[in-house]
Amino acid sequence: DIFQEIAMSRNSRVLALCLVAASALTACNKPREEGSAKDTAPSIPVELTAAQKQALVAELPAPYSGGDVEHGKTVFMMCKTCHTLVEGGANMTGPNLWGIFGRKAGMAKDFAYSDGLKAAGFTWDTAHMDTRIENPRAMMAGTKMSFVGLKDAKDRIDVIAYLKSEASPAK
């Protein structure tokens, strides 16, 4: 019947497309030239366990060590429009925040910082993050960060705890 022929014809086309796609992917798997930049596979981010995340947050000084990570995750949603948190993640309007704790200000790889932040000279810790998140423009003149800030201290504490749990390597 005509409907069976149409169905078989469609299945044949789908099978042909799958074979073409498979052969194209196989062609991409050619041996790499020795010494090329492609010799190193990109690292795949490893999801930390709840216990590892909790241990990271516990390293923070009080009151940040008692921050509510789940609430911080909710508050951080507004930050995700400009920042990524994963290792090797892309810079967006703002820099990727992976490894922010202990990093010198203005030093994220491949990000065009404002002159003020490049010259700041401090290392990111909870106090500097809190000040920056509270009022970015008051902390540093000429900042590119257009965010108005988080006035609520609990929101800042929780966001910083969340950042520590999500943007730090396991110990």
User: Looking at residue 95, what is its pLDDT?
Assistant: 95
Q: Both tokens of residue 110? A: 């491949």
User: Looking at residue 48, what is its pLDDT?
Assistant: 86
Band of residue 147 on the pLDDT scale cut at 50, 70, 90:
confident
Q: Which residues contact 144 (CB under 8 A, 6 or more apart)?
A: 113, 114
The model carries a pTM of 0.73
Q: pLDDT by residue (tens digit) across 89-131?
A: 999 999 999 999 999 999 998 999 988 888 899 999 999 999 9
Mean pLDDT of the chain: 80
User: Residue 123: phi, psi to the nearest 5?
Assistant: -110, 140
Highest mean predicted confidence (pLDDT) among 14-18, 49-53, 108-112, 123-127: 123-127
Compute the average pLDDT of residues 79-87: 94
The lowest-confidence range among 1-5, 61-65, 115-119, 142-146 is: 1-5
User: Looking at residue 22, what is its pLDDT?
Assistant: 41
User: Looking at residue 140, what is its pLDDT?
Assistant: 81
Burial of 73 (0-12, 13-18, 19+ CB in 10 A): middle
Amino acid identity of 44?
I
Rg for the chain, CA atoms, rounded: 23
The label of the residue with tokens 């003149």 reads: 141
Band of residue 1 on the pLDDT scale cut at 50, 70, 90:
low
Helix, strand and coil content of the chain, in percent to the nearest 5, comes to 50, 0, 50
